[in-house]
Amino acid sequence: MQKTKIHFAAAFIIAATFFLIGLGTVEAAISPTIYITAPVNNTKTNDNTPSIFFYFTDPEAGNGSATLYFNATNVSYNGTVFNNTNTSLTASTLSDGNWTFWVNVTDFFGDTNKSWMYDILIDTTPPIITFVNPTDSNISAQRDWFYINTTLNEEGQSANAEINGSNYSMAQGTTNLEWFINRSGLSEGNYTWRIFVNDTLLNNGKTGFAWTNITVVFDNDGDGFNSSIDCNDNNATVRPLLNNSENNISSNILVCSGIYIAKIYLGNNNIYLDGNGSTIGGNNSTAGPWPNGITVHPYNSIEIRNFNIQNYSGNGIISDITPGTSNTNIINNNISHISGAAINLTTTINFTIKNNNIFSSKFGILLDSANFTTIKNTVFESSIEEYGIALINSAGFNTIENNSINAGSIGIDLAYLTGYNSISYNNITSSSIYAIIITGSVYNNITFNNIYGNNWDGIFFDTSGADPSSNNVSYNNIYSNSNYEINNQQTANITAEFNWWGTTDCSAINASIYDYYDNSSLGIVDWAPFLNDSYPNGVPSPCPSPPPNTPPTINITAPPNNTKTNDNTPLITFYFTDPENTTAESRLYNSYCQFSTNNTTTQNNTYTNLESNSDPNCLGGIPDGNWSFWVNVTDYITENKSELLYLIIDTIPPGVFYDTGTDQNGTYSKNWIFINGTATDPTPSIGLVLEFNGANESWDNCQTTDGTWVNCWKNKTGLADGTYLFKVYAHDGAGNENTTEIRIVTLDTTPPSNIPWINDTSNGTNWIYWEWPQDATLGFSHYEIWLNNTFRENKSTSNYNATGLSANTGYEIQVRPVDDVGNIGNWTNDTGFTKASTGGGGNNNDGGGGNNGGGGVSTNLTNKTNPQARVPGVSQAINRTVQTPSSLIINLSKEFSARGLIKLELRVGDVIQVEIAKEPHTITIDKINAKNKTVTLIIRSTPTEVNLKESGSVLVDVDGDGKYDIKIIIDRVDGEKTTVILQDLKVEREQTPTAFLTLTQGQVGILGAIIGAAMFSILVYFYVRKREMVKR
């Protein structure tokens, strides 16, 4: 879009009116043209702060500013970019996805244009790698090769397998979504590997580590099974498993080592099943034809050992149905990648589960209603998702010992147990929630365990179920757990003596245990005496006898009581003193949402701030009203409460408005401004502030009612012409503030410029038409017109036709300008005459008195001589007003008298040249009488100065030399210069010769020339000149 632009030639700006005056040319503006050079349209990149390269051309501007937009959002800006210069803008960080971008450039003149819009795809997400069959992941293989097969969620550019620290390129499958590698000719050993893939934008994805254990064996007996055991030695207990089948086993066997996609079902008593390192699994890591690996039917005296059990969607080893299985051993097995539980046993008796390795499964070992079962020497890796070991539902007399549990959200879960379970010598760490959780379980001994480094609580006593006080927690190392070492959510007391808590500081131990002293509705955890070192090195130690505990004393220091505030989350400042404790926990309460916030490590005798915004009921702030606040402080043993602090929350600003008489926006002809403001508020203590031209001013007077209503006024007087801005602020006692709108008032007391002249340009016997220069000044309104001191009308145009006048009569018009705010200029006057009615007698009917008896007077702008009147005794008016430059000539002969009206413009220093009897004389404007605005002119009748005295308007012989002395009176003249011609004025009379020549104008002047001549036929040439004038 083009805009209009002005090139200044000879112009100036009037700041007050914002008008442009002068000469100039107006032409259409030219916007810049922008070219994006890189990146190309539809680019794909993994750079989420891409740089956009561009340049612009502009025939007028050398520089401008540039803004980069992505999806209409400003992401980069450069305030100075140069014409035809390659430039880059770098975007702020963008999220992955499709974006549309463009560049806007605004040149020096403010003309803006936009580039073409380009599309770009930003992708910083690495590819997701999925293993698919066949892949030898986390298995043992009796061959000299293994295979890795992957698929990607997006196109890949390259893939590598890192195997035992060395990189090997992977081959592309049918498409670049598929990549595989077959490592063959391998030696025996364990191979640890992971996969790296680059997508087409070089985003790098990688997997976690997996392993493949290679065992190189040989088919010694030609039975098709690579085994170090001869499967054809006629020993019925040695045989392979059936692949892709359910193997029902009812007697002792030693499995030929191998990898089997199979299920094993044990359906008899007294079975000894040795896997001999064989791997059994489902089809893949998510599901198989059988959900469970080994199912144990309720028979007695079974042992399962030496298997790798993996990739089942159900459970690794599961007991079948009630009434249960007894006297069964599960020993030396590796169980992994199980979607359910690695071992899931129900209603079993006298089981032994030991020396197993469980990882990469959802659950570890679940014992439901199991009794007399031992779980020992089993490792639970970090890839367990939920719990490591769970004993649930009336299980009793079970032993969990010497296990390493480094996994899951819960290490050991004891739920609803009848009791007498022993949990000892276990190492439990890195659980995401609890190392041990006890729910409704009784008579359990939790001893000699290392419970440390868990991400929430060490031992958690849940709220539900039976009284847990019969549980014994002793001689454990419980320390460095993120939340609490023991968290008691039960109302019963817990005995937890003789444990090592990682410190001998009794205050620190107490702070690490959550119980009654944190919440009086809970039971106490009795933890003393405690071990002074980790078990087995520590010995029982008591805490020193505490001194008598003095409740803390709390003092609220800010804000003062009954404070009004607009802060709906007020900050409360307090301190407490306590002779025994250096720290305590403080809590802020209020009557709206109760508990607000707390500080668990408040320092003794130290100013502390608590803000009312932490409790969910307080989020969003406390509503308006009168609320009480208090602070509770709890030291090592006791709690105390501060006095109540009352705060008035008020977030509603006061009402404020201009009251009666306040000047509105506009322009006024005066030197004062009146401002009247009122404010209201429901609560007392309103303040009202006047801001005038950016500065605060005091009021002339204020009045109020109970502080809820206040009215103030100010009459700002003695102001100079100009523009003034003001507004009124109101603030209440709570700190809320409101303001009126800004008002803009302009004062203008300067009257309009005087009218430079008024001319009666034409007349009749009953009318006179006057004209004067039109006032084109901004703000001019009209002319006020009077005639002979009587108001006639207001007109906006510079002319007036006076009608209904008498013939042959002089009338004085009085005109003054008025602007649109009422300022009035000076009067400008002019006297005009109506024409005489037609007389009898003389030539040309110029006057009365018979043929040639009248007097004739005329004016001529072309210096032509008009016929002269030769009839004595008649006066004749000169009715022509002349503005055009010329000279003034007056011819006087015989005895005469004449009267005429002529406009002149004279100033001090103007010169009138007079020639009397062909002798030149000079009239100089010597001075201006400031009082009556007249100019006194002296004509010297001879080169020698003659002293004159004023004798009114009558010509006299002052010095008695027989020659008439001349005195001329002229009103002060303003306006444009004018030269007037009056030619061939000649009147013959028999009376005493006198002549009257009057020049009159309101602001131009009245020339009263009284000229008499005693001698006959004196010819006087009267020249009037005027110097060129400069407006002052």
Where among 608, 628, 649 does a domain terminate? Answer: 649
**Mean pLDDT for all residues in the chain:** 76
| pLDDT-based confidence at residue 943 (cuts at 50, 70, 90) | very low
Q: Is the pLDDT of residue 624 over 80?
A: yes
Residue 478 host element (H or E): strand 477-479
Tell me, yes or no, whether 436 and 536 share the same domain: yes
Give the DSSP letter string of 717-747.
-SPPSEEEEEEEEEE-TTS-EEEPPPEEEEE
Domain of 734, CATH number, reads 2.60.40.650
User: Tokens 């303001």 sit at which residue?
Assistant: 739
Give the percent of the chain with pLDDT over 70.
Answer: 73
Which range scores top for mean pLDDT: 27-36, 235-244, 985-994?
A: 27-36
Q: Would you say residue 618 lies in a domain?
A: yes
Q: Is the pLDDT of residue 183 over 50?
A: yes
Q: Is the pLDDT of residue 859 over 90?
A: no
Tell me, yes or no, whether 209 and 174 share the same domain: yes
- The structural domain count of the chain equals 7
Cα gap 409→387, rounded to integer Å? 6
Average pLDDT over residues 956-971: 42
* Predicted confidence (pLDDT) per residue in 55-76, tens digit: 999 888 889 999 999 998 999 9
Cα gap 843→853, rounded to integer Å? 8
Ranges 316-330, 335-349, 630-644, 924-938: which has the least confidence? 924-938
Cα gap 249→271, rounded to integer Å? 8
User: Tokens 């004798």 sit at which residue?
Assistant: 951
| 26 burial via Cβ count (<10 Å: 0-12, 13-18, 19+) | exposed
Closest by CA position to 876, among listed 847, 843, 851:
847
The dihedral sign for the CA sequence 414, 418, 419, 424: negative
In degrees, rounded to 5, the angle at the alpha carbon of residue 872 between the alpha carbons of residues 867 and 878 is 55
Which residues fall within 8 angstroms of residue 190, CB to CB, at 6 or more apart? 211, 212, 213, 214
Q: Would you say residue 305 lies in a domain?
A: no
Tell me, yes or no, whether 856 and 944 share the same domain: yes
- Tokens, residue 476: 């454990």
* Predicted confidence (pLDDT) per residue in 414-442, tens digit: 998 887 889 999 999 988 999 999 998 88
Tell me, yes or no, whether 866 and 1014 share the same domain: yes
Q: Would you say residue 156 lies in a domain?
A: yes
Where among 491, 516, 545 does a domain terminate? Answer: 545
Would you give the end-to-end CA distance of the chain in angstroms?
Answer: 48
Closest by CA position to 460, among listed 374, 387, 370, 534:
387
What per-residue confidence (pLDDT) applies to 1014?
Answer: 24
What per-residue confidence (pLDDT) applies to 615?
Answer: 59
Helices and strands (DSSP H and E) totals, the chain: 1, 92
By residue count, the chain amounts to 1032
Phi-psi region of 582 (alpha: psi -120 to 50; beta: other; left: phi over 0): alpha
* Predicted confidence (pLDDT) per residue in 545-603, tens digit: 656 678 899 999 999 999 888 888 888 999 999 887 888 888 888 888 766 677 778 89
In degrees, rounded to 5, the angle at the alpha carbon of residue 797 between the alpha carbons of residues 792 and 799 is 65
- Using an 8 Å Cβ cutoff, are 180 and 163 in contact? no
Tell me, yes or no, whether 633 and 683 share the same domain: no
Ranges 133-137, 615-619, 705-709, 746-750: which has the least confidence? 615-619
Cα gap 236→231, rounded to integer Å? 9
Q: Is the pLDDT of residue 162 over 60?
A: yes
Name the residue range of residue 91's domain: 31-122
Radius of gyration of the chain (CA): 59
Tell me, yes or no, whether 875 and 977 share the same domain: yes
Closest by CA position to 629, among listed 643, 613, 650, 614:
643
Q: Is the pLDDT of residue 160 over 70?
A: yes
| pLDDT-based confidence at residue 766 (cuts at 50, 70, 90) | very high
Q: Would you say residue 527 lies in a domain?
A: yes
Q: Would you say residue 493 lies in a domain?
A: yes
Q: Would you say residue 321 lies in a domain?
A: no
Q: Would you say residue 292 lies in a domain?
A: no
What per-residue confidence (pLDDT) applies to 919?
Answer: 44
Tell me, yes or no, whether 169 and 56 share the same domain: no
Q: Would you say residue 74 lies in a domain?
A: yes
What per-residue confidence (pLDDT) applies to 182?
Answer: 85
Q: Is the pLDDT of residue 909 over 60?
A: no
Tell me, yes or no, whether 662 and 727 share the same domain: yes
Tell me, yes or no, whether 566 and 643 share the same domain: yes
- What torsion, rounded to 10 degrees, do the Cα atoms 325, 328, 333, 336 define? 20
Where among 214, 242, 261 does a domain terminate? Answer: 214
- Tokens, residue 986: 């000649």
| pLDDT-based confidence at residue 186 (cuts at 50, 70, 90) | confident
What per-residue confidence (pLDDT) applies to 654?
Answer: 92
Dmax (CA) for the chain in angstroms is 185
Q: Is the pLDDT of residue 478 over 70?
A: yes
- Using an 8 Å Cβ cutoff, are 171 and 161 in contact? no
Domain of 52, CATH number, reads 2.60.40.10
Q: What residues pair up with 673 in beta bridges, in sequence order?
A: 716
Residue 509 host element (H or E): helix 506-511
| 777 burial via Cβ count (<10 Å: 0-12, 13-18, 19+) | exposed
Domain of 191, CATH number, reads 2.60.40.1220
Q: Is the pLDDT of residue 778 over 90?
A: no
What per-residue confidence (pLDDT) applies to 899?
Answer: 31
* Predicted confidence (pLDDT) per residue in 654-675, tens digit: 999 999 999 999 999 999 999 9
Cα gap 1000→830, rounded to integer Å? 6
Tell me, yes or no, whether 768 and 724 share the same domain: no
Ranges 220-229, 690-699, 833-842: which has the least confidence? 220-229
Average pLDDT over residues 539-546: 78
Q: What are phi and psi of 844, to 5 degrees?
A: 65, 10
Tell me, yes or no, whether 692 and 816 share the same domain: no
> E-assigned strands of 734-820?
737-739, 743-747, 759-763, 768-771, 780-787, 790-795, 799-802, 810-819
pLDDT: is 162 or 189 the higher one? 162
Which residues fall within 8 angstroms of residue 958, CB to CB, at 6 or more apart? 946, 947, 948, 949, 951, 965
Tell me, yes or no, whether 764 and 740 share the same domain: no
What per-residue confidence (pLDDT) applies to 216?
Answer: 62
Q: What are phi and psi of 509, to 5 degrees?
A: -60, -45
- Tokens, residue 717: 């007087």
* Predicted confidence (pLDDT) per residue in 18-44, tens digit: 333 333 334 456 889 999 999 999 899
Give the DSSP letter string of 178-238.
EEEEEE-SPPSEEEEEEEEEEETT--EEE---EEEEE----BSSSSS--BSS-TTSS-TTE
* Predicted confidence (pLDDT) per residue in 840-849, tens digit: 443 333 333 3
Give exposure, 792-827, as e/b (b: 16+ Cβ within 10 Å).
Answer: eeeeeebebebeebeeebbbebbbbbbbebebebeb
| pLDDT-based confidence at residue 679 (cuts at 50, 70, 90) | very high
What per-residue confidence (pLDDT) applies to 793?
Answer: 94
